[in-house]
Structure 1
Amino acid sequence: MKTFQRNLLVAAMAAVLAAPAWADAPGGAAAGGTSRAAPVQLLWNARLRDESVDDAAFARNARADTLRLRLGVQARFSEAWSGLLEGAGTASAGNNYNSGANRQTRYPGITDPRGGELNQAWVHFQGGEFGATVGRQELLLDNQRWVGNVGWRQFEQTYDGVALKWKPAADWTINYAWLDRVHRVSGPDAVNPLARERKLDTHLLNVARVHGAQTWVGYAYLHEDRDVPTASTATYGVRWLGNYVAQGNGPGWAAEYARQSDYRNNPASYRANYWLLEPSWTVRGITARLGWEHLGGDGVHALQTPLATLHAFNGWDDQFLATPAGGLDDRYLALGGKFAGGGLVKQFKWNVAYHDFHADTGGRYGSEWDASLGFPLGGGVHALVKLADYRADGFGHNDTKIWLQLEWSGKRDL
């Protein structure tokens, strides 16, 4: 598989660098769409972040001031072929945090190590209703509960493999991907090599139908981790979404059920259930969500989501990046929307959430408050202020995290 991976990436990079001047850029590897963009484009994303952590388990607080630059060249070779070559680098001011690569274990962890890496290198084919992407790429399926790019961290999670997309009808979409390797957010210099990347033999199938205001999804995720056999799982599930929001008012919902078991090289034998119930209501553009997410566990084994964008679930403090053996019940209330008024104020986005965490088998874990405020500064620059406060009651330690962030994205024709 290592030879396959090397050849696959070399082919992707060579194809991008050899792009003719008349090429056009695709809508994205995951989307498989096309757009009438310039022949060759330079893409960039710069993110400056200050993150501070006050963890009761450590005598010292952590603080990371990091700057991430992601730079790529995207091109169309013909009406059917396109490609992307993209690198990422992170610099940090100071070393008062444990990045996973700097050996500063006396500080709490902030997984934003300094360094550089090849982020994406893919070739994409689009022929009618069928698309295929080969190479190192992002994958974002549904809400990223099972498969995502962990975009919150400075280094994102990408995959070496093949992704196929077919639309047999206007309201049907079939996605299939085979993954050979996952490159993780700890970066290429992490002390633990398993935190850098893992060898896989993973098959992902996701079938979706959109009809009016409703979406139905069925999926089968057969994940074999060749480096960590206990992470190999087979997950089958269904998802149902809908909303009847009109003129800023109305109901919505999300419901999902999945069953997970051991798979292939996993030495364990277990079964675990997953479900999500999330009714919502929007009034004057402000949405309230009442949620119950259940990740089953029996005290020995628990349902896991190793390829997910985990920061987006079960609180922003990241207490539950791995599901405890006793499982997890996350019952939450969230409010979010935009401020009323005109001008710049109406572009301010805010969110507030409260989580109550319990074990599936056992007692209470703790609770958490989350809050964020995001707003544009013009010229493609966005600002974000974000807070997470976890109070332990049987699991982990009291922990508070604060983020201040500026992000600038753009593209330029070449």
Structure 2
Amino acid sequence: MKHLIRVLPGLPCLVLALPAIAASPVDTGGKLILDARYRFEQVDQDNALDTAKAHSLRTRIGYRTPRWHGLSGLVEIDDVRHLGAEHFNDTRNGRAGYATVGDPEGTEVNQALIRYAADWGSAQVGRQRINLGNQRFVGGVGWRQNEQTYDGAMIELAPGAGWKLTYAYLDNINSVFGPDDTRPVSRTAPADIEGHSHLLQAQYAFSSNLSAIGYHYRLGLDNLAVAPGAPPGTLSSRTSGLRVQGKAGGFSYVLEHARQRELAGNPWRLDSRYWLAEAGYRWQDIQWKAGYEVLGAGGGTGNRAFQTPLATKHAFQGWADQFLTTPADGLRDAYAGFSLPLGGGEWQTWYHDFRSDRGGDRFGRELDLSWRHAIPGVKGLEGLLKLASYRSSDTARTVDTDKFWVQVQYTY
């Protein structure tokens, strides 16, 4: 909380005053936030670690006030609990003999912010959710039970037709491994990522079928390291890129390129590239996609490959999460998949082929399957079955991994 209070010293007082503001005759209804998500996760790896079996419950409660002359507020509390015996390593419970399920227990302020909205755009300050674009570089990691949120300020502008400009200043990042740290504090997975970061993004829609996004992210991640033996700050970087996306009839496409270099304070020199080419086709209710994504290798000793430390990584490069940190030789991911309605729900199938960027060595391949379905009889209740199966072709760097999830979520 010290970071949140430093960003906005008056936020607690303002939040307490919001019910009084909401009593004004010009207000129109606030919104109660209530969300409960139960999940069973099993992780079986072909190594010395015991199979992990985790039952957890994430409960979220909050309130979004009505708008009053453009001003509104939001408070949101998350609580994560383990149900039953802890036969898994949550990165904080000391169960190092089990495979990892990164959902530590704890209660934390997930969001607490003041927002102002007008015709020109909006501004908000406090602890907040930030999801930029497709979350490949900056996101909330919403798949994990403890969401990643940001202490800082963000402004979004609409200066003209087709334009959207975004700037955010980050003072602290509340990672999925919080709310509490263990001793000694992890260099690769701290509860709070400290440092000052700046996010800039400009989006222009040429038409309803074509848009471009330019971005520049300056990440000062002072206490975060790319590997346990690497110095703190080795993930501090400046990344500039351009993404172009469009569609024509049932076809869609994405082209993207970015360059990553070190930011002041990083003891290592960085210079690596990111490339993405993706094509899709929709026929009736079936959506097909195929793509090729490259996170380039860097030069020098240690792991200096292209990294995305603030991304919602579970959505990319396979659900088995084998490449949350890009290997030192970089990574090429050739993928294809489809989604379609099935049994009243949605079915997804994805296949990935992973190779190193430097040398082209094959890491492995992965098959991902999921089925999501609304549960009849209760509005807002939804079930999910999900499977990820990774098979290694390079056992010196990765291992066979199977993950299975059963999830039930209620959203009010």
State if a TM-score over 0.5 links the two structures.
Answer: yes
How far did residue 59 of structure 1 move? 4.3
Whole-angstrom distance in 2 between the partners of 1:65 and 1:292: 35
Query: What is the deviation of 1:187?
Result: 1.4
CA distance in 2 between counterparts of 1:122 and 1:361 reads 44
Q: Which amino acid aligns with 1:43?
A: I
Which residue does the alignment assign to 2:215?
Answer: 219
Query: How big is the shift at 1:283?
Result: 1.5
1:321 aligned residue: 324
The answer (yes or no) to whether the contact 1:9–1:136 under 8 Å persists in 2 is no
Residues 310 and 18 (structure 1), Cα distance of their counterparts in 2 relative to 1, 3 Å cut: same
In the alignment, structure 2 segments of 5+ residues that lack a partner are 224-231
Deviations 1:36-93 (A, max 9, x none): 9953322011100000010112342100000100111111351211111111001112
**1:332-355 superposed Cα distances (whole Å, 9 cap, x missing partner):** 11111213xxxxx34x11110110
Distance 2:66 2:13 in 1: 13
Residues matched between the structures, number: 388
Kept in 2: contact 1:100–1:190 (CA 8 A): no
Q: 1:283 to 1:43 in 2, by over 3 A?
A: same
Given the alignment of the two structures, is residue 141 of structure 1 paired with residue 136 of structure 2, yes or no?
no
Distance in 2 between the 1:318 and 1:239 partners? 24
Deviations 1:354-399 (A, max 9, x none): 1000001131111100011001114101110000011111131100
**For residue 355 of structure 1, what is the aligned residue in structure 2?**
352
CA offsets per residue over residues 155-212 of structure 1, 9 Å max, x none? 0000000100100113110000010000000112242355201112111001001221
Of residues 349, 365, 368, the one that matches 2:366 is 368
Q: How does 1:187-266 map to 2 (within 5 A)?
A: 187-191=178-182, 192=185, 194=187, 195-210=190-205, 211-227=207-223, 228-245=232-249, 250-266=250-266
- Counterpart for residue 408 of structure 1: 410
Partner SS state of residue 110, structure 2: strand
Counterpart contact for 1:58–1:108, Cα < 8 Å: no
Q: Distance in 2 between matches of 1:56 and 1:46?
A: 33
Deviations 1:218-267 (A, max 9, x none): 0001111122311111100000111234xxxx111111110111111111
| CA RMSD of superposed structures (Å) | 1.8
TM-score (norm 1): 0.90
Query: How far apart are the structure 2 equivalents of 1:213 and 1:135?
Result: 35
**CA offsets, 1:87-111, max 9 Å, x none?**
1001112210000110100000001
Which residue number corresponds to residue 290 of structure 1? 290
User: What residue in structure 2 maps to residue 27 of structure 1?
Assistant: none
Q: 1:321 and 1:199 mapped to 2: Cα distance?
A: 20
Note the 1:373-392 alignment, pairs <5 A.
373-377=371-375, 378-392=378-392
Name stretches of at least 5 consecutive residues in structure 1 with no aligned partner: 25-35, 340-344
Name the structure 2 match of 1:28: none
CA contact (8 A) 2:3 2:151 kept: no
Instruction: Give me the TM-score of the superposition, normalised by structure 2.
Output: 0.90
In 2: Cα distance, 1:146 partner to 1:356 partner: 22
Deviations 1:259-304 (CA, angstroms, capped at 9, x unpaired): 1111111111121110110011111221111110000004641000
Q: Does the 8 A contact of 1:317 with 1:401 survive in 2?
A: yes
Contact 2:298–2:306 (8 Å) recurs in 1: no
Moved >6 Å (runs of 4+):
none
Aligned residue among 164, 177, 196 for 2:155? 164
Q: Percent identity?
A: 36
